[in-house]
Amino acid sequence: MIKKLNHIGIAVNSIAEHIPFYRDILQLKFVGIEEIADQKVKTAIFQVGETRIELLEATAPDSPIAQFLEKRGEGLHHLAYQSDNIERELQFLKEHNIALIDEKPRDGAHHTRIAFLHPKSTGKVLTEICEEKQEP
């Protein structure tokens, strides 16, 4: 079951260039920077209420974020919704003919498991489902 909006992903050419706006001008709480090597992306996270803003910077020219930036430029990349059971959510979506980019969850930033839905099934909005990893 979807519980809340977890974060908004924004593709940027340079995290360092945009941090001052979110931290100093909007005065959002800067949570930190994390690199997800297998996705070839570096993220900067800001907390605003229960939702986070996630700036996404490519770490390689063949990364999905680099490709996005080349086609569309900087801006809104995706919306991420938090689920309490990502496997059940993906099964439900498949049963309702929603095109999935990720058939199975994979590791994401900030101790989450994630899966993306294809924009052709979501009103042209890249959508992410995420679930906080359970500690063993």
Measured in Å, how far apart are the chain's first and last C-alpha atoms?
Answer: 22
Look at residues 77, 105, 74 and name the one whose alpha carbon lies nearest to residue 90. 105
Indicate whether 22 pLDDT > 80. yes
pLDDT for 136 equals 55
Contact 19, 11 (CB under 8 A): no
Query: What is the rounded average pLDDT of the residues 23-48?
Result: 96
User: What are the sequence ranges of the domains in the chain?
Assistant: 2-84
How far apart CA 79 and CA 5 sit, in angstroms, is 8
Contact 131, 112 (CB under 8 A): yes
Q: What is the mean pLDDT of the chain?
A: 95
Which strands form 51-58's sheet, in the order they lie side by side? 29-36, 41-48, 51-58, 2-11, 75-83, 127-132, 112-117, 106-108
pLDDT for 55 equals 98
Indicate whether 124 pLDDT > 60. yes
* pLDDT band with cut points at 50, 70 and 90 for residue 111: confident
CATH code reported for the domain at 2-84: 3.10.180.10
pLDDT for 110 equals 79
pLDDT for 135 equals 61
pLDDT digits (tens, 9 = 90+) for 63-101: 999 999 999 999 999 999 999 999 999 999 999 999 999
Query: What is the rounded average pLDDT of the residues 53-67?
Result: 97
